[in-house]
Amino acid sequence: MSIVTLTEAAAVKARELLEKSGSPADAFRVRVIDGGCSGMRYELLFDGETGETDSVFEQHGLRVVVDRESATFLADTTIDFVEGLNEAGFKIENPNASTTCGCGESFGV
């Protein structure tokens, strides 16, 4: 079982962006940092380095990395990619979040 589950749509979009990034061998890193209007903020980025405490796994052909500290906040989280008239982007469903902001980029526990 992975810490974070990416839907196929999220993995496809991330792989597409990764190919355009100029560093196609990088991994898709998911982490939680302090900040945002609810106290903690999600950060999605491409990263060519992994640390000793990182969890590394593959989903839908995409290498995903989550650091140990972020993993405690991300257990059972699902990341999707939606594209519609009212919204477009990565959408994070985190069952550990007790509060979320309107933009969906920050949360509280």
Domain 4-108 belongs in CATH node 1.10.620.20: no
Q: How far is CA 57 from the centre of its chain?
A: 13
Is the pTM above the cut of 0.75? Answer: yes
- C-beta atoms surrounding 97 within 10 Å: 21
Task: Give the closest residue to 88 by CA, choosing from 10, 32, 7.
Answer: 10
Q: For residue range 94-109, list pLDDT tens digits in order.
A: 988 876 665 555 556 6
Q: For residue range 3-60, list pLDDT tens digits in order.
A: 999 999 999 999 999 999 989 899 999 999 887 666 788 899 999 999 999 999 999 9
Q: Residue ranges per domain, the chain?
A: 4-108
Residues 4 and 30: beta-carbon distance below 8 Å = yes
